[in-house]
């Protein structure tokens, strides 16, 4: 996100001020009149709700990134071993984002359900309030396995321990992250420039390099939720 | 609207266990602080008071690292053949003891210090043993301190959020307490459920504090 903002500032000369919080909190703030111009949600659900509430410029909702889910096993040596650890229950705790509030969590639950494991490990599944916390539980060694975001793995770089199993895309509903343009900023040139920038190829490159799938078809269908986070 | 009451019971259980243990740990600690002239008195009092000024996320973050499998306490637990504490009810109890410690120790220490030396000396001339003196002289005289400590610990543990968010893992029936459930409801945009639980918390806290103030006022009046 910082990279996008600084590139945009360089290119456009506008100054962006950002406020980071979970999508649910930002949604609550926006519905109570928070002075934001553009809302980049980590999911598609909240932007859609804002649109239904008539708080955003109509027909401008679009997907700016698609999150990718991975299974991280710091103790494994190969993707196959990581997957095997999950299927055999070879862990004390499995970490994921809370499926009820975070799209990465919902995606993780879809994978567990597909494997027929959703009920079996319920008492050993710890749920972070977001995918950042899911990552932290694994990173601190408290969980031996975790469903995290591909973007987090990219950000960790070479310092990452263990192995990653990249969850096949057809195992879960795409984690579409959508942006909306709030009504109070309708016609605002800086807001308009930022929306254009987000859809540009150079922004897409940054988004893909950060570990997401880039896609920006205007106003996307009913794809399900996710969480990017802070 | 579907309500899940399990987090409410879990919070009550956590607060009860924590308060009971804090009574056992806090009483001797507060007594020692009130009587000692040791060089360590001020540093120890300062450590006990840390949770009053630190964000609870700081405490929670360090507990997660310390109690985890790579932390000093976690490694010690594993050597004993025990499970590590994060994500367990026992872990929440340990965290809550740290978090609510000043709320037990400070009122008790104040109460003990206000007794002065006279009651103790009188008891000693009657050849009461130190333990006997403590139970039959100090405890009754320091009753407002005990009431305040117990009530504040209980209420403070019910309201605990940041620490539990950091080390709880949100497991239903194990670590998903009231404040976490409220947080989840808000994040899920289930404002109705969030309102029921939140309004309950506000009412509960108000009644608790009001009762405390009335009780202490009555004791004050009686002692006049």
- Between these two residues, A16 and B17, which has the higher pLDDT value? B17
Q: Is A117 helix (H, G, I), strand (E, B) or coil?
A: coil
Residue-level pLDDT at B219: 80
Q: What are the extents of the domains in chain A?
A: 2-12+21-64+178-214, 69-166
Q: Is A219 left (phi over 0), alpha (psi -120 to 50) or beta?
A: left
Expressed in angstroms, the distance from the first to the final Cα of chain B is 52
Cβ distance B69 to A141 less than 8 Å, yes or no, reads yes
Instruction: Compute chain B's Rg from CA coordinates.
Output: 20
pTM over 0.95: no
Pick from A28, A137, A141: which is nearest to B169 by CB?
Answer: A137
Q: Within an 8 Å CB–CB cutoff, is residue B15 touching chain A?
A: no
Mean of the pLDDT values across residues A136-159?
93
Host H or E run for residue A176: strand A175-181
Cβ distance B187 to A92 less than 8 Å, yes or no, reads no
Tokens (6 digits) for B99:
């978090």
> Rounded mean pLDDT of chain A?
88
B62-115 pLDDT, tens digit per residue, is 999 999 999 999 999 999 988 899 999 999 999 999 999 999 999 999 999 998
ipTM entry: 0.79
Per-residue pLDDT band at A89 (split at 50, 70, 90): very high
> Above 60 in pLDDT, residue B224?
yes
Instruction: Look at domain B6-223 and name its CATH class.
Output: mainly alpha
Mean of the pLDDT values across residues A43-63?
92
Question: CATH assignment of A2-12+21-64+178-214?
Answer: 3.40.190.10
CB within 8 Å of B146: residues ≥ 6 apart: B23, B107, B108, B111, B139
> Using CA atoms, how far apart are residues A174 and A167, in angstroms rounded to an integer?
11
> Using CA atoms, how far apart are residues B11 and B52, in angstroms rounded to an integer?
20
Residue-level pLDDT at A218: 40
Mean of the pLDDT values across residues A139-159?
93
Q: What are the extents of the domains in chain B?
A: 6-223
Cβ distance B87 to A142 less than 8 Å, yes or no, reads yes
B3-46 pLDDT, tens digit per residue, is 788 999 999 999 999 999 999 999 999 999 999 999 999 999 99
Question: CATH assignment of A69-166?
Answer: 3.40.190.10
Per-residue pLDDT band at A215 (split at 50, 70, 90): low
Indicate which of A45, A124, A126 best probes the interface with B, i.e. most B CBs within 10 Å of its own CB: A126
């Amino acid at each position: 996100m910082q990279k996008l903002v600084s590139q945009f500032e360089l290119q456009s000369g506008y100054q962006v001020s950002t406020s980071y919080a979970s999508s649910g909190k930002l949604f609550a703030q926006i519905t109570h009149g928070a002075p934001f111009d553009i809302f980049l949600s980590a999911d598609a659900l909240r932007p859609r709700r804002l649109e239904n509430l008539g708080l955003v410029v109509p027909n401008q909702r679009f997907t700016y990134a698609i999150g990718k889910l991975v299974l991280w096993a710091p103790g494994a040596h190969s993707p196959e071993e990581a997957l095997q650890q999950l299927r055999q229950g070879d862990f004390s705790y499995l970490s994921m984002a809370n499926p009820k509030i975070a799209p990465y969590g919902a995606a993780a639950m879809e994978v567990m359900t597909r494997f027929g494991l959703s009920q079996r490990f319920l008492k050993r599944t710890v749920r972070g309030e977001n995918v950042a916390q899911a990552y932290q539980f694994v990173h601190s060694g408290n969980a031996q396995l975790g469903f995290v975001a591909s973007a987090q793995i990219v950000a960790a770089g070479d310092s990452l321990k263990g192995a990653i199993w990249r969850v096949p895309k057809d195992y879960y509903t795409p984690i579409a992250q959508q942006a909306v343009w709030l009504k109070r900023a309708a016609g605002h040139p800086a807001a308009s420039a930022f929306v254009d920038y987000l859809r540009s190829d150079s922004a897409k490159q940054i988004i893909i390099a950060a570990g997401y799938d880039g896609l920006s078809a205007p106003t996307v269908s009913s794809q399900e939720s996710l969480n990017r986070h802070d | 609207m579907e309500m899940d009451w399990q987090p409410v019971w879990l919070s009550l259980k956590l607060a009860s266990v924590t308060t009971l243990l804090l009574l056992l740990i806090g009483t001797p600690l507060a007594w020692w602080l009130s009587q000692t002239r040791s060089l360590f008195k001020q540093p120890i009092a300062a450590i006990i008071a840390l949770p009053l000024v630190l964000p609870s996320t700081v405490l929670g973050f360090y507990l997660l690292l310390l109690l985890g499998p790579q932390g000093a306490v976690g490694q010690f637990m594993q050597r004993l053949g025990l499970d590590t504490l994060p994500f367990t009810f026992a872990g929440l109890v340990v965290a809550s003891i740290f978090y609510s410690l000043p709320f037990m120790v400070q009122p008790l220490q104040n109460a003990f210090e206000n007794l002065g030396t006279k009651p103790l000396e009188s008891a000693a001339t009657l050849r009461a043993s130190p333990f006997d003196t403590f139970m039959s002289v100090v405890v009754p005289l320091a009753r407002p301190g005990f009431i305040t400590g117990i009530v504040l610990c209980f209420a403070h543990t019910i309201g605990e959020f940041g620490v539990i968010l950091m080390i709880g893992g949100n497991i239903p029936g194990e670590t998903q307490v009231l404040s976490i459930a409220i947080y989840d409801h808000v994040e899920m945009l289930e404002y109705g459920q969030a309102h029921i639980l939140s309004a309950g918390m506000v009412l509960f806290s108000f009644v608790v504090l009001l009762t405390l103030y009335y009780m202490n006022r009555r004791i004050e009046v009686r002692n006049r």
